């Protein structure tokens, strides 16, 4: 295994635009507040191939959550272009091509685990679940929550709540899963286990994943590629290809290849502040 | 040998559990009994004071005399409770319904809230006792002004709480609704309304008791039936035992009303852990 050389982001954005899941070009986001104008993202370009797993890594304030929200049509870019499967983010959202997992699970406390997963079938034009797609019950089983369907969020642990929210995001088989530091508030043991499971779910569903984190190890363990962002203003520092096997267990973190790539990522992060 | 005295670990564990459960039952029983002990001590001090200070019955009755009046004049007391209860209930329903509808309108049209909320606050600052004569002049001497006063009293806390409950939605849940392309109507019925229920019920619990106060104050201004009228009558005829009995009947009704709303809340708002209550 070798770590591939860092690729200039511009060069990567220009490559394979055809089968791109997400194609961001020169995206700039500015927020106007009473005191001053904040540039959250400046001239960010990157491209993720369909079926890819991209980790967005950076210090707080580098705009990685904002970038995810631009792709999800939650924040409009001030300039630049974003394409999701060749369409605008809005079209992708209306077609239910996106699933979003939030930092806190954002479950509705008056709904059971199963009813929370079913929510997306009840709103936004009440879409029918395409035949052959996993049902809410099957998705809860996929995230390891069989037997907990009738439990309310306050009866579940933090890790279980986040599993429910992953099942909810997977309903309807979205082609793109956007995850905003979903395991940030969990303890390390739960986090490790969910990291392993997320890799498994990614392999089994074949969905494209954009995963925001500020942990070097999480970014490296999960991603096929890591986009390192720098802060003030948020911009791309580098894009690192991860050459680790598809099937990964936590033990991989002890290997020299993993350590070496971690050093590369940390070096890339070092120049970001 | 000490070994012979050793208890098998399973047995000692179950014995420990047993004694723990017994201790828990004792604490629970104590918690139930102690409030009644408190009431008993209070009644005892009251009776002792009336007896020792030789308080004449037209100034303050002994607890025994009040109990006798409660039984002896039960018919009159109940006959006067009925109109007050109807006024309080009708006011409660009208006031809260209006508050819920207006809160919904405020949340959907910010301009409406900005225009009319100051007026609502202004009306709320007028004391009930001052509002009552105005309403009696407007609505006559029947039940209507009393219902209106009870409704007005209920209206404000519910409006404020309901607006807050509809607006205090988890921002990530709002983003989720947006990702799912939910309509404004769906956001209201699937998210805001449920979110507001705990807020609504804390307001309803307040207005359950204040609506009775409103009805009674209304009856003071102009009425010859009802708990309020009976209070005035008993006071003017120095019938302190009847006055106290009337007050007890009114507070029992308020308490029942409050407990009914609390039970409804437990039935409907089931998603909160009990510790949050």
**Residue-averaged pLDDT of chain A:** 87
3-state secondary structure of B28: helix
Q: How many Å apart are CA A273 and CA A271, to the nearest integer?
A: 6
Instruction: Sort B161 into a burial class: Cβ within 10 Å, 0-12 / 13-18 / 19+.
Output: buried
**Beta partners for A54?**
A210, A225
pLDDT tier at A2, thresholds 50, 70, 90: very low
Contact assignment for B194 to A110 by CB distance below 8 Å: yes
pLDDT score for B9? 55
DSSP-derived 3-state class of residue A131: coil
- Helices of type H across A1-104: 9-14, 64-71, 89-94
Which two tokens mark A36? 């001053």
State whether A106 and B170 contact (CB < 8 Å).
yes
Report pLDDT for A176.
Answer: 94
Report long-range pairs for B190-196 (Cβ below 8 Å, ≥24 apart): B190/A108, B190/A119, B190/A122, B190/A123, B191/A108, B192/B107, B192/B165, B192/B166, B192/B167, B193/B166, B194/A108, B194/A110, B195/B165, B195/B166, B195/B168, B195/B169, B195/B170, B196/B103, B196/B162, B196/B165, B196/B166
Whole-angstrom distance, CA of residue B142 vs CA of residue B159: 27
Residue B45 lies in a domain: yes
Q: Which two tokens stand for residue A222?
A: 């999960």
Say if residue B170 is in the same domain as residue B148.
yes
**CB neighbourhood size of B237 (10 A):** 11
Judge: B272–A109 Cβ closer than 8 Å, yes or no.
Answer: yes
Same-domain pairing of B134 and B197 = yes
Residues B111 and B179 in one domain: yes
Angle at CA of residue A46, ends A40 and A47, nearest 5°:
140
Contact A89, A126 (CB under 8 A): no
pLDDT band at A272 (very low <50, low <70, confident <90, very high): low
pLDDT in tens, A197-211: 899 889 988 899 999
Give the whole-angstrom CA distance, residue A20 versus residue A13.
10
ipTM given for this complex = 0.86
Place of tokens 């049209």: B109
Shared domain check, B166 and B223: yes
Instruction: Look at B183 and A123 and tell me if their CB atoms are within 8 Å.
Output: yes
Contact A247, A83 (CB under 8 A): no
Residue A124 is predicted with a pLDDT of: 85
The answer to whether the CB atoms of A104 and B172 lie below 8 A apart is yes
> Is residue A149 very low, low, confident or very high in pLDDT (cuts 50, 70, 90)?
very high
Per CB-CB distance under 8 Å, the chain B contacts of A111 are: 271
A74 touches chain B (CB under 8 A): yes
Residue B84 belongs to what domain range? 63-276
Any chain A CB within 8 A of the CB of B193? no
Interchain contact B168–A (C-beta under 8 A): no
pLDDT of residue A4: 42
Burial level of B19, CB count in 10 A (0-12/13-18/19+)? Answer: exposed
Residues B34 and B101 in one domain: no
Chain segment A75-116, per-residue pLDDT in tens: 999 999 999 999 999 999 998 899 999 998 899 999 999 999
Residues B12 and B113 in one domain: no
Residues 234..273 of B with a Cβ closer than 8 Å to A: which?
269-273
Measured in degrees and rounded to the nearest 5, phi and psi for residue A56 equal -105, 115
Give domain status of residue B58, yes or no.
Answer: no
Q: Are residues B30 and B137 in the same domain?
A: no
Q: Per-residue confidence at A9, pLDDT binned at 50, 70, 90?
A: very low
Report yes or no: B257 and B87 within 8 Å, Cβ to Cβ. Answer: no
Confidence of residue A127 (pLDDT cuts 50, 70, 90): confident
Contact A56, A65 (CB under 8 A): no
Distance CA A185, CA A105 (A): 10
Say if B107 falls within a structural domain.
yes
At residue B246, the pLDDT reads 95
Domain coordinates of chain A in residue numbers?
9-97+174-267, 109-173
How many structural domains does chain B have? Answer: 2
pLDDT at B136: 84
Residues of chain B falling short of pLDDT 50: 1-2, 274-277
> Which of B180, B194, B269 is nearest residue A123 as measured by Cβ atoms?
B180
In a domain, B135, yes or no: yes
Domain shared by B68 and B145, yes or no: yes
B176 with B145, same domain: the answer is: yes
CB-nearest partner of B182 from A109, A123, A152: A123
Task: Please state the φ and ψ torsions of residue A132, each to the nearest 5 degrees.
Answer: 90, -15
Non-local (6+) Cβ contacts of A74 within 8 A are: B175, B178, B179
Interface of A with B in 209-248 (CB under 8 A): none
Domain of residue B97, CATH code? 1.10.3720.10
pLDDT score for B91: 97
Query: Are A119 and B183 in contact (CB < 8 Å)?
Result: no
Measuring CA to CA, which residue among B250, B248, B268 is closest to residue B260?
B268
**For B62-76, what is each residue's pLDDT tens digit?**
999 999 999 999 999
Examine the domain organization and report whether B29 and B80 are in the same domain.
no
| B41 to B37, B57, B276: CA distances (angstroms) | 6, 21, 32
**Assigned CATH topology for domain A9-97+174-267:** Rossmann fold (3.40.50)
């Amino acid at each position: 295994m070798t770590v591939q050389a860092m690729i200039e982001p511009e060069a990567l954005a220009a490559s394979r635009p055809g089968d791109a899941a997400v194609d961001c070009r020169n995206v700039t986001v500015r927020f106007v507040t009473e005191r001053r104008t904040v540039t959250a993202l400046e001239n960010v370009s990157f491209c993720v191939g369909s079926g890819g797993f991209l980790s967005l890594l950076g210090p707080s304030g580098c705009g990685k959550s904002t970038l995810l929200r631009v792709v999800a049509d939650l924040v409009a870019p001030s300039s630049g272009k974003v394409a999701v499967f060749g369409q605008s983010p809005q079209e992708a959202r209306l077609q239910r091509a996106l699933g979003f997992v939030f930092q806190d699970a954002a479950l509705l406390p008056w709904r059971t685990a199963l009813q929370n997963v079913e929510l997306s079938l009840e709103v936004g034009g009440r879409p029918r679940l395409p035949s052959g797609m996993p049902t809410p019950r099957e998705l809860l089983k996929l995230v390891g929550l069989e037997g907990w369907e009738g439990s309310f969020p306050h009866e579940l642990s933090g890790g279980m709540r986040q599993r429910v929210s992953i099942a909810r995001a997977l309903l309807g088989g979205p082609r793109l899963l956007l995850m905003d530091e979903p395991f940030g508030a969990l303890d390390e043991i739960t986090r490790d286990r969910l990291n392993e499971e997320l890799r498994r779910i990614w392999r089994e569903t074949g969905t494209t994943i954009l995963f925001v984190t500020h942990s070097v190890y999480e970014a490296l363990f999960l991603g096929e590629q890591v986009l390192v962002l720098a802060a003030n203003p948020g911009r791309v520092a580098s894009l690192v290809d991860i050459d680790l096997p598809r099937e990964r267990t936590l033990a991989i973190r002890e290997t020299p290849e993993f350590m070496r790539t971690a050093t590369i990522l940390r070096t890339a992060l070092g120049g970001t502040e | 040998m000490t070994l012979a005295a050793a208890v098998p670990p399973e047995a000692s564990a179950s014995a420990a559990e047993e004694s723990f459960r017994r201790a828990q039952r004792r604490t629970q029983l104590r918690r139930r009994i102690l409030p009644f002990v408190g009431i008993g001590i209070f009644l005892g001090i009251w009776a002792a004071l009336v007896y020792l200070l030789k308080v004449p019955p037209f100034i303050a009755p002994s607890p025994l005399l009040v109990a006798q009046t409660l039984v002896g004049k039960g018919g009159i007391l109940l006959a006067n409770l009925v109109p007050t209860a109807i006024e309080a209930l009708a006011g409660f329903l009208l006031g809260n319904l209006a508050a819920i509808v207006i809160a919904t309108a405020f949340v959907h049209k910010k301009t409406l809230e900005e225009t009319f909320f100051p007026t609502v606050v202004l009306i709320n600052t007028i004391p009930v006792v001052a509002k009552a004569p105005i309403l009696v002049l407007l609505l006559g001497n029947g039940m209507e002004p009393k219902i209106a006063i009870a409704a007005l009293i209920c209206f404000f806390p519910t409006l404020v709480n309901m607006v807050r409950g509809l607006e205090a939605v988890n921002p990530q849940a709002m983003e989720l609704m947006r990702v799912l392309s939910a309509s404004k109507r769906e956001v209201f019925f699937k998210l805001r309304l449920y979110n507001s229920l705990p807020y609504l019920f804390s307001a309803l619990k307040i207005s359950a008791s204040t609506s009775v106060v409103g009805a009674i104050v209304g009856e003071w201004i102009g009425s010859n039936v009802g708990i309020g009228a009976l209070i005035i009558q008993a006071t003017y005829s120095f019938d302190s035992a009847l006055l106290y009995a009337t007050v007890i009947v009114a507070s029992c009704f308020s308490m029942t009303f409050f407990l009914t709303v609390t039970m409804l809340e437990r039935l409907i708002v089931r998603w909160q852990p009990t510790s949050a209550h």
